[in-house]
Protein backbone atom coordinates (compact mmCIF):
# COMPACT_ATOMS: atom_id res chain seq x y z
CA UNK A 1 0.00 0.00 0.00
CA UNK A 2 1.33 3.41 -0.99
CA UNK A 3 0.32 5.06 2.29
CA UNK A 4 2.27 2.57 4.41
CA UNK A 5 5.42 2.95 2.31
CA UNK A 6 5.17 6.75 2.35
CA UNK A 7 4.59 6.65 6.10
CA UNK A 8 7.81 4.70 6.56
CA UNK A 9 9.81 7.08 4.34
CA UNK A 10 8.46 10.13 6.19
CA UNK A 11 9.20 8.60 9.59
CA UNK A 12 12.79 7.86 8.56
CA UNK A 13 13.40 11.23 6.89
CA UNK A 14 11.75 13.43 9.50
CA UNK A 15 12.50 11.36 12.59
CA UNK A 16 8.88 11.15 13.71
CA UNK A 17 6.90 8.20 15.02
CA UNK A 18 5.31 6.27 12.17
CA UNK A 19 2.01 5.99 14.05
CA UNK A 20 1.66 9.78 14.27
CA UNK A 21 1.62 10.13 10.46
CA UNK A 22 -1.87 10.31 9.00
CA UNK A 23 -3.06 10.97 5.45
CA UNK A 24 -4.11 14.51 6.40
CA UNK A 25 -0.88 15.30 8.28
CA UNK A 26 0.71 18.52 7.06
CA UNK A 27 4.41 18.04 6.42
CA UNK A 28 5.49 21.37 7.92
CA UNK A 29 2.87 22.16 10.56
CA UNK A 30 2.14 18.66 11.88
CA UNK A 31 5.37 16.79 11.19
CA UNK A 32 7.89 19.61 11.61
CA UNK A 33 9.46 19.48 8.14
CA UNK A 34 11.49 22.55 7.21
CA UNK A 35 12.49 23.37 3.64
CA UNK A 36 15.60 21.18 3.75
CA UNK A 37 13.58 18.28 5.17
CA UNK A 38 11.06 18.71 2.37
CA UNK A 39 13.80 18.51 -0.28
CA UNK A 40 15.29 15.40 1.32
CA UNK A 41 11.84 13.84 1.59
CA UNK A 42 11.14 14.47 -2.11
CA UNK A 43 14.52 12.97 -3.00
CA UNK A 44 13.79 9.86 -0.91
CA UNK A 45 10.41 9.42 -2.61
CA UNK A 46 11.98 9.88 -6.05
CA UNK A 47 14.56 7.24 -5.24
CA UNK A 48 12.03 4.78 -3.79
CA UNK A 49 9.65 5.07 -6.75
CA UNK A 50 12.28 5.69 -9.46
CA UNK A 51 10.59 8.90 -10.59
CA UNK A 52 11.50 12.56 -10.86
CA UNK A 53 9.21 15.09 -9.23
CA UNK A 54 9.23 18.44 -11.01
CA UNK A 55 10.02 21.41 -8.74
CA UNK A 56 6.68 22.99 -9.59
CA UNK A 57 4.87 19.83 -8.48
CA UNK A 58 7.06 19.48 -5.39
CA UNK A 59 6.02 22.92 -4.14
CA UNK A 60 2.37 21.81 -4.27
CA UNK A 61 3.00 18.91 -1.87
CA UNK A 62 1.86 20.03 1.58
CA UNK A 63 0.29 16.91 3.10
CA UNK A 64 0.85 13.16 3.13
CA UNK A 65 -2.24 12.79 0.94
CA UNK A 66 -0.69 15.17 -1.62
CA UNK A 67 2.24 12.74 -1.94
CA UNK A 68 -0.10 9.77 -2.40
CA UNK A 69 -2.22 11.64 -4.96
CA UNK A 70 0.86 12.65 -6.92
CA UNK A 71 2.23 9.09 -6.98
CA UNK A 72 -1.12 7.68 -8.11
CA UNK A 73 -1.28 10.30 -10.87
CA UNK A 74 2.20 9.57 -12.26
CA UNK A 75 1.86 5.78 -11.99
CA UNK A 76 -1.25 5.73 -14.23
Tally the C-alpha atoms within 13 A of residue 70's C-alpha that lie toward its C-beta.
22
One of 24, 30, 34, 37 is an active-site residue; which one?
Answer: 34
Q: Is 55 a catalytic residue?
A: no
**Nearest to 66, CA basis, from 34, 39, 26:** 26
**Catalytic sites, residue numbers:** 34
Amino acid sequence: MVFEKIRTIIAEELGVERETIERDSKLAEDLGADSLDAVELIMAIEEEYDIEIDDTEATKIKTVQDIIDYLEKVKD
